[in-house]
Amino acid sequence: MKNWCGWNGRLLAIDLSNGTINCYEPDLELFRNFIGGRGLGAKLVYDNGPIDALSPDNILVFAAGPLTGTRTPASGRISLSTKSPLTGTIFDSNCGGFLGSELKKAGYDAVVIRGKAPDPVFIEIEDEHVDLRSAASLIGKNTKDTTRALKHKGRVACIGRAGEKQVLIASVISEGVHAFGRGGTGAVMGSKNLKALVVRGTGEVSVYDRAEFDKQRSTINRLLIASPTINKGLSVFGTPFLMKITSWMRVLPVSNFTKSEPDFPIDPLFASAINERYEPGRRACYSCPIACKRVAKDGTELPEYETLALMSTNIGNSSYETVVQANQLCNDYGLDTISVAGVIGCYADIRGKVVTGTELLELVRQIGDKEGTGALLSMGVKRYSNSAGCPERAMHVKGLQLPAYDPRGVKGLGFSYATSNRGGCHTRAYLVAPEILRKPKAIDPYTLDGKAGHTKIFQDRFAAVDSLIVCKFAFFGAGEEEYANILSAVTGVEYSSEDLMRAGERIWNLERLYNLREGFTRADDTLPARFFNDAIDNRVISREEFQKTLDEYYRMRGWDEQGIPTERLLKELQLQDL
């Protein structure tokens, strides 16, 4: 075994078709250039070539980062990369909890899974011991029962019935509550006859310079504690604290993005009201001082902001309790809450009626079981709206349902939706930070001026963050410099903040190359027509201004006018062979 620090230098490769299990040691250069997590996954998925997303040839890459398992603040996340059956794009999703640290302590940087098992199986990893076990007794179980059945063996990531039935908006759920949430990762897992991944690790992750690591860790912790967004927002209320802010800014998604205010009072949906009624406890991921997860006294997981907004105002539902139940159902079936709420919002828009109460819960069940109306909705918002003859009612980019911020009032965030490599997503650039929360500095949300540059910088930044892999919320306090310093202390490889940004740019361009190979073009870097045609509160996005911003963005990225990276840029990024 190579004597590395931070990285284990080992990838576990499992072929389910023939049951082979191998471990290989790639060159350090792979990790230096792509770091880990999302970046490592992107390189492996790209190298796997063009394939059908639900074929045995597609791969699933569960990848940790060099900081995972080291007690670096907010480093308790793990990435899952694949080709999405929902969007056709390269895709990564990451979740919190303890699965990532367990994988690193078992001695691996990533697990690469291909093929299709002849019969249902789960993968069991305990340090050097890796086995394929029969999952026959688990088939038909949802994620909570599956997790209960396997948790004595280690940390569990599994699919529910939605993944088994290859629902295109199915997720992989870790530890019963943490979701690899978007893009149909659960459908890919189901297509492989793979029910679960269970990991137990008893080792330690090596740190190159322990004294320097402790110093940098202390610095980051101080910065997180000093951040008002963290210590007065996320740590107190969790992500639902955004509900009041987006309502005040009038960028909540209302009635499938057709209005700025719902027809019912929303004060009961604000985080302060939720805290008063539920007195929720806090739940933290591995080595996280923020603890943004909220859990009711009876152990019920409470919904995040995106779920709360999209399952309330977006579909006409005023009941927080119903949102809680719908969120639980989605987690149990293994469904992406954003996509479920988005496609139900489209369904409500098409039929001209709100969706509330028992009807909402029944639709979630039907989507999870791929039955009745749910069988149509389970295709995702793009396919469903096309089948209903109303494609203009689908709020998506590249097939991925939009999150809970109206781009007419946060135009940079909207532009980042359009240019995202994985489709309509707020976390690719996370311009929620500067446009809504005014961090690290405030930028005007009502204009596209300057947003080409902001989008590029934030996209590169969070491509690196997703590869380290650490929580984006940590960057409300710390920044690239602090995490570059602690990365250097952990690995013994000298990184500057500029090195991290360059790695992020390399990863972003690799993902772009994948999508271009799959047939995506400039025409796909856009938003639904509703945001260009229909004004809300006198806000609308100008098509002309949008196209000018897109031209500027391509130039700043070093791409040609069609959005194709130039040979010169690829050489600078050491991607010329691609």
Task: Give Cα 413 to chain centroid, integer Å.
Answer: 16
**pLDDT score recorded for residue 72:** 97
Q: Which of 71, 36, 77 is nearest to 470 (CA)?
A: 77
**10-residue averages of pLDDT along the chain (578 residues):** 84 98 95 97 97 98 98 96 98 97 98 98 98 98 98 98 98 96 97 98 97 97 94 94 96 97 96 93 92 91 96 97 98 98 98 96 98 98 98 98 98 98 96 94 95 98 97 94 97 96 98 98 98 97 98 98 97 93
User: How many angstroms separate the Cα of 534 from the Cα of each of 351, 540, 546, 550?
Assistant: 19, 7, 15, 21
Q: For the segment 302-322, what is each residue's pLDDT rounded down to a tens digit? A: 999 999 999 999 999 999 999
∠ CA 136-141-142, rounded to 5°: 140
CA separation, residue 431 to residues 282, 302, 327 (Å): 26, 24, 25
Whether residue 155 contacts residue 174, with contact meaning beta carbons closer than 8 Å, is answered with: yes
Rounded Cα–Cα distance for residues 492 and 469 (Å): 17
CB of 146 closer than 8 Å to CB of 158? yes
Q: Which of 367, 365, 332 is nearest to 144 (CA)?
A: 332
- The angle subtended at Cα 506 by Cα 503 and Cα 507, nearest 5°, is 90
Residue 406 corresponds to which amino acid? D
How far from the centroid of its chain's Cα atoms is residue 63's Cα?
14
480, exposed or middle or buried, with CB in 10 Å at 0-12, 13-18, 19+? buried
Q: Name all domains of the chain by residue range, CATH numbers in brackets.
A: 11-200 (3.60.9.10)
343's tokens = 């496609």
What pLDDT was estimated at residue 578? 84
Tokens of 335: 């469904």
Quote the CA–CA distance of 578 and 571 in Å, as a whole number. 10
Separation of alpha carbons 215 and 262, rounded Å? 49
Specify the DSSP element, H or E, that contains 280. none
Both structure tokens of 248: 């005040």
Cβ atoms within 10 Å, residue 72: 29
Selection from 199, 147, 148, 151 nearest residue 173 by Cα? 147
The runs of H, that is alpha helices, within 227-356 are: 228-229, 235-237, 242-249, 271-278, 305-310, 320-333, 337-351
Strands 396-397 and 400-401: antiparallel
pTM above 0.75, yes or no: yes
* Burial class of residue 49 in the structure, from the number of CB atoms within 10 Å of its CB (0-12 exposed, 13-18 middle, 19+ buried): exposed
Q: 502 is written with which tokens? A: 């360059």
